[in-house]
Amino acid sequence: MKQQEEINDNSRRDFIKTAAIAGIATAACGSLACSCSSKKPVQPVGEKVKLLSPEGEIVEIDSAYLNHQEHMAIVSKLEAREGMAGKKFVMVVDLSRCKNARKCVSACQKWHYRPQETEWLTVKLMKDSDKAAPYWFPKQCFHCDNPPCVKVCPVDATFKRQDGLVLIDNERCIGCKFCMAACPYSTRVFNWTDPVMPEAIANQQYSPETGIPARVGTVEKCDFCPDRSREGLLPPCVEACPNGVFYFGDENEDTVSNGDETVSFTQLIKDRAAYRFQEELGTKPRVYYLPPKDRQFPVERGYENLPDQLKARFRDVMEGGAE
């Protein structure tokens, strides 16, 4: 329950933030309507928010009414397969700002109700060669434009959408794991046991866009949170990062935002000499990396305060020096 509240809390903040940035009033009104019909009475918290109603008037409401929106964007299976027309989602990851705070990891796990061991988004410590300086490397699904995982699926359970996303339909997946063998980036995870979730979540209607509820014997992975995009929200990892490492946006609109600033995608990748991981594999990732030049934090900052168990992951690189 506590987790649930935290998520509500988080998303409330997220919502307001994004509403301010993007000015998406209609989504807000959708949620307004929703909160009125919800069974549990909501206590006002006294924090007022200004919104634009569908009639074009500014209304002021208590923010407590705003968020009963958990994974509400249940679209039809067909829509979930086609994706959002006119969009091309991209992500830019600024490696010079990452200090392995791991807020993205936990935000992702919370949003998707995944346990600690399941990391759709993970942070690696890369060291490209003996003499090279190590750097933190957050990695999620690259939503490749030429996705090897999609090519091999025998039942079309994982598919590529027009908005660039690669999603999985866990109601169709037969669990052959071929896609896991085919993804060169070890992105996908399998539900080896019956996943543990709050009951309300387990009973929720499934959508490939939310990935909830997870199911035993099927594959899952980072989905770029299209349900949040439909609401005009940024993915939780983007919002959770204290250092603004992740920029998420639409290539067609040529804007990406890390929650604090919204910038031109082409300009950003040009100015900062962005690259895509392992371009030579020909998978055409939709995630761009900005090289770890002029770093904001020494790499040790992401190591020293880690709990031992996590430290162990990186010990070789941090203490052993060369591989």
Residues in contact with ligand SF4 by CB under 6 A are 141-144, 147-149, 152-153, 155, 157-158, 166, 168, 173-179, 183, 185, 187-188, 219, 221, 283
Q: How far apart are CA 205 and CA 265, in angstroms?
A: 35
Q: How far is the CB of 299 from ligand SF4 (least distance, A)?
A: 25
For residues 310, 216, 205, 63, the Cα torsion angle rounded to the nearest 10 degrees is: -10
Nearer to ligand SF4, 3 or 278 (CB): 278
Q: Classify 172 in phi/psi space as left (phi over 0), alpha (psi -120 to 50) or beta.
A: alpha
Nearer to another protein, 72 or 180 (CB): 180
- Given ligand SF4, another protein, none, residue 194, with its beta carbon under 5 to 8 Å by kind, binds another protein
Decide: 195 and 214 in contact? Cβ < 8 Å. yes
Q: How far is the CB of 169 from ligand SF4 (least distance, A)?
A: 8
> In three state form, how does the secondary structure of 92-147 look?
EEEHHHCCCCCHHHHHHHHHCCCCCCCCCCEEEEECCCCCCCCEEEEECCCCCCCC
Helices 2-22 and 103-111 pack at an angle, to 10 degrees, of 110
Q: How far is the CB of 319 from another protein (least distance, A)?
A: 14
Contacting residue, 22, 32, 64, 182, with another protein by CB under 8 A: 182
Neighbour-count burial of 20, counting CB atoms closer than 10 A to its CB (0-12 exposed, 13-18 middle, 19+ buried): exposed
Nearer to another protein, 194 or 271 (CB): 194
Nearer to ligand SF4, 70 or 251 (CB): 251
> Is residue 156 a contact residue for another protein (CB under 8 A)?
yes
Q: How far is the CB of 205 from ligand SF4 (least distance, A)?
A: 20
The Cβ of residue 276 has, within 10 Å, a number of other Cβ atoms equal to 17
User: Radius of gyration (Cα) for the chain, nearest Å?
Assistant: 20
Decide: 207 and 70 in contact? Cβ < 8 Å. no
Q: How far apart are CA 167 and CA 121, in angstroms?
A: 15
Binding characters for another protein, 270-289, by CB under 8 A (x = yes): --------x--x-x------
Nearer to another protein, 195 or 259 (CB): 195
Q: How far is the CB of 228 from ligand SF4 (least distance, A)?
A: 18
Cis ω before 242 (30° cut-off from 0): no
Q: How far is the CB of 229 from ligand SF4 (least distance, A)?
A: 17
Q: Binders of another protein among 186-215, rule CB under 8 A?
A: 186, 188-194
The Cβ of residue 144 has, within 10 Å, a number of other Cβ atoms equal to 24
> Is residue 317 a contact residue for another protein (CB under 8 A)?
yes
Contacting residue, 72, 77, 184, 252, with another protein by CB under 8 A: 184
Nearer to another protein, 31 or 158 (CB): 158
Q: Binders of another protein among 22-81, rule CB under 8 A?
A: none
> Is residue 173 a contact residue for another protein (CB under 8 A)?
yes
Nearer to another protein, 172 or 301 (CB): 172
In sequence order, the 6+-apart residues with CB closer than 8 A to the CB of 304 are none
Q: How far apart are CA 29 and CA 26, in angstroms?
A: 5
Nearer to another protein, 178 or 206 (CB): 178
Q: How far apart are CA 16 and CA 18, in angstroms?
A: 5
Q: How far is the CB of 321 from ligand SF4 (least distance, A)?
A: 30
- Given ligand SF4, another protein, none, residue 213, with its beta carbon under 5 to 8 Å by kind, binds none
